[in-house]
Structure 1
Amino acid sequence: MKIGLVVYGGLEQTSGGYRYDRQLVSALEDRGDDVDVISIPRRLEDDPAGVVSDRTTSARPNSDTAPSIRERLDRPYDVLLQDELCHPALVQHNPHLEGPETIVSLVHLLRSPDPTKDDPAVRARERRYLESVDAAICTSGYTRERTTALVDTDLPTLVAPPAGRHEEPALSSEAVAKRARADPLEVAFVGTLVPRKNLVTLLEALARIDEAGRDWHLTVVGRHDADPAYVRDVRDRIGALELGDRVTITGKVETARLESILERSHVLAVPARYEGFGMVHLEAMEYGVVPVAGSVGGASEFVADGRNGVVVEPTDPSSLADRLGALAADRDRLATLGMRALETAAAHPSWAETMDEIRAFLGRRLDEADDANGGDSP
């Protein structure tokens, strides 16, 4: 198949969505497909929450004008794949494209169902975009439900979840059990510092554990450039809660250091207010790290509360403090949850399995488009 993949900026960006896109390009090429990556620039107003980085783009000068983007999209692709994050730049073009046989949206994270931002204009624009594509690939069942609820058409969809970083568990069950006995309770937060990821609530919860006399340490990993005002709020809250000696803020780190942090952590706590999938929870589970996830989004599809992790109401610091405090106090329970997390990660679909599902789905969409056009697929 001849495939175009539309992304904001370059594929080298560090978010989970871009890692998914890189895996997809590599898998399609390994299976004999010809893939063009169509990198388009974003405007700040397209992405005010800093969902993607604006530091890199391979788009040529003046490529943000309508003719140049449309010219790059309107080519004889069998499948034009579009990262849904680009929808503000694509919604005006899709209805006019004649070159691609079929257009498929890759939906990592819808913006309009985000409970932290209720914007009718965003919802209307996202709906128009989804009604302009022929099918959608979603990274979780939760995201698929929200996608199909937005559109009036019967949109064909596939749930294709991401995998982690390792084919096998990254830590043995014996190592997980031994680590569970170590003090203090090592908590990691991994994610871009934006309100949706909800680091402030985690800090408030940990401060309550501190008051109860539990020993803990928090390592905060993630970009600081998406929302500088929120980063200042985080630092102010750390100071106000007098947690400076209990919190280490690393900023963005290389893969080797992230894996070292996960290897020594007991808990990964990212109680996000809204998450499309929550890839970082799965990555932590490969190390037997107990995931603590917010209840809104796709993470609860593989994080089972009380079995292999903890699922919390993201706006309730008191409940989060109780659950974290219980893990700090009961190291047998911490070890059990960690070993079950290992088992969950090992049983999760691999990248190869997910990519096989995607390629088969794209083939079916192309066959249907070809039948509708009365022609033969290449």
Structure 2
Amino acid sequence: MNVGLTLYGGLERRSGGFRYDRKLVEGLRRAGDTVDVVELPWRRYGRGLLDNASRRLRDRLRVDVDVMLQDELAHPSLVRTNRHLPYPVVSVVHHLRASESRRLSPLYRAIERRYLGTVDGVVCNSSATETVVAGLGVDTDATVVAPPAGDRFDPDVDRATIDRRARERPLRIAFVGTVAPRKGLTTLVEGLAGSGTEAELTVVGRPADETYVEAVRRRVRRHDLGGRVRMAGELSDEALSAALRSSHVLAVPSRYEGFGIVYLEGMSFGLPAIASSAGGAAETVTDGETGVLVDPGDAEAVAAAIARFAGDPDRLAAMGQAARRRYERHPDWTETTARVRRLLRATVSGGAAV
């Protein structure tokens, strides 16, 4: 097949959604398909909506493909543009704005519903995402759940390593993600402060919202956590691998995660997760077995989880072992690509996905 991929920015970005897109392109090319990547300039939401009046954008998207994949993140620029395109479209949905609890959710829901009404199929990164997509009117016969693999590092971590690490103190917690409100870092800092432990936190990620970063720093100062919270910024894969290998727990108590590939990547190191109960994280993190699920904004639940991990090394070791086993049985990128290709072939032929 001749396949296109339309997205904001470029495939070189390091967040989970862009890694998914990049690995999907690599998998399609290995399978013998050609892939033409169309990179659109980053837009604020309102500016993206104005793109739909741009003839120049429509001309740029008139490429010779059998089917076009679109990263749903770019939907503001495509919600009306899609009606002018000469090929079938399959949207790749990592995370719907409408899923977040925020003031503008009704607006996002209306626009995303309209956008999804212009596509012929949808790739969902989790069953939770598929449920939300179906709630916006998409026929599930035209969707496929193709979760990302978590093999970014694929470290050699055995039971003895997990057990030995669980006995070390203080408890070491890693947060990995964009430093922005949705990821729940302020909730994590409040939970750390209220845990009654000497646990330490390393924050890895790009600061996407400087106002929010300052709010995090204020909480660190307010609770006198300066010696126990390290803002590491973005790290190379090698440095991030080292940070995860030396940690005990991965904690990202987000408002919402469509899938949460970071939890799976932490599990590859035998790290149980403190994860969001909202969205798709529960498909990877089993509460009480491979981690702890907390409601968005619940700092007390985060504090309780940290205290239990710090106070019970046997439980920490057992959950770390279970986390590693969960990682080992997760589908790889070959299986994910195969699921997407089946949907693409069915879309091109006008049939249903199998």
What is the TM-score when the length of structure 1 is the normalising length?
0.89
Q: Rate the CA distance shift 1:154–1:260 in 2: closer, same or farther, 3 A.
A: closer
Q: Rate the CA distance shift 1:47–1:316 in 2: closer, same or farther, 3 A.
A: farther
Distance 1:260 1:168 in 2: 13
Distance 1:186 1:167 in 2: 19
Q: Please say if residues 126 and 147 of structure 2, whose CA atoms lie closer than 8 Å, have aligned partners that are also in contact.
A: yes
- 1:304 equivalent in alignment to 2:262: no
Q: Rate the CA distance shift 1:325–1:47 in 2: closer, same or farther, 3 A.
A: farther
Amino acid at match of 1:69: L
Q: The residue matched to 2:350 in structure 1 has which SS?
A: helix
Partner of 2:315: 333
Amino acid at match of 1:130: L
- 1:68 equivalent in alignment to 2:51: no
Give deviations 1:80-114, integer Å, cap 9, x for gaps. 1000000000112111112x1x2100000000121
Q: Please say if residues 41 and 64 of structure 1, whose CA atoms lie closer than 8 Å, have aligned partners that are also in contact.
A: no
Q: Rate the CA distance shift 1:168–1:15 in 2: closer, same or farther, 3 A.
A: closer
Amino acid at match of 2:62: D
Partner of 2:258: 276
Q: Please say if residues 167 and 350 of structure 1, whose CA atoms lie closer than 8 Å, have aligned partners that are also in contact.
A: no
Aligned residues: 350
Q: Rate the CA distance shift 1:47–1:238 in 2: closer, same or farther, 3 A.
A: farther
Q: Please say if residues 178 and 206 of structure 2, whose CA atoms lie closer than 8 Å, have aligned partners that are also in contact.
A: yes
Give deviations 1:174-198, integer Å, cap 9, x for gaps. 1011000001100000110111101
Distance 1:152 1:297 in 2: 18
Partner of 2:198: 215
Deviation at 1:164, TM superposition (A): 1.0
Distance 1:164 1:357 in 2: 17
Partner of 1:37: 37
Q: The residue matched to 1:38 in structure 2 has which SS?
A: strand
Partner of 1:90: 78
Distance 2:140 2:281 in 1: 26
Distance 2:337 2:138 in 1: 28
Give deviations 1:241-294, integer Å, cap 9, x for gaps. 111010000111111011101000100010101111100000000000111101
Q: Please say if residues 4 and 38 of structure 2, whose CA atoms lie closer than 8 Å, have aligned partners that are also in contact.
A: yes
Q: The residue matched to 2:99 in structure 1 has which SS?
A: coil
Distance 2:95 2:47 in 1: 12
- 1:189 equivalent in alignment to 2:171: no
Q: The residue matched to 2:12 in structure 1 has which SS?
A: coil
Distance 1:155 1:133 in 2: 13
Partner of 1:13: 13
Deviation at 1:65, TM superposition (A): 7.1
Amino acid at match of 2:334: A
Q: Which runs of 5+ in 1 are unaligned?
A: 49-62, 372-378
What is the TM-score when the length of structure 2 is the normalising length?
0.95
Give deviations 1:210-247, integer Å, cap 9, x for gaps. xx3x22110000001x2111011111111111110100
Q: Rate the CA distance shift 1:243–1:82 in 2: closer, same or farther, 3 A.
A: same
Q: Please say if residues 52 and 79 of structure 2, whose CA atoms lie closer than 8 Å, have aligned partners that are also in contact.
A: no
Q: What pairs up with 1:145-156 in 2 under 5 angstroms?
A: 145-151=131-137, 156=142
Amino acid at match of 1:108: H
Q: Please say if residues 183 and 255 of structure 2, whose CA atoms lie closer than 8 Å, have aligned partners that are also in contact.
A: yes
Q: What pairs up with 1:84-163 in 2 under 5 angstroms?
A: 84-98=72-86, 100=87, 102-151=88-137, 156-163=142-149
Distance 2:141 2:47 in 1: 25
Q: Rate the CA distance shift 1:153–1:350 in 2: closer, same or farther, 3 A.
A: closer
Distance 1:350 1:130 in 2: 27
Q: Which moves more between the two structures, 349-358 or 136-145?
A: 349-358
Q: The residue matched to 1:112 in structure 2 has which SS?
A: helix
Q: Which runs of 5+ in 2 are unaligned?
A: none
User: CA RMSD for the aligned pairs?
Assistant: 1.9
Distance 2:47 2:299 in 1: 28
Give deviations 1:288-309, integer Å, cap 9, x for gaps. 0111101001010110001111
Q: Rate the CA distance shift 1:350–1:117 in 2: closer, same or farther, 3 A.
A: farther
- 1:258 equivalent in alignment to 2:274: no
Deviation at 1:10, TM superposition (A): 1.1
Q: Which runs of 4+ in 1 moved over 4 A?
A: 152-155, 166-169
How high is the sequence identity, in percent, across the aligned residues?
45
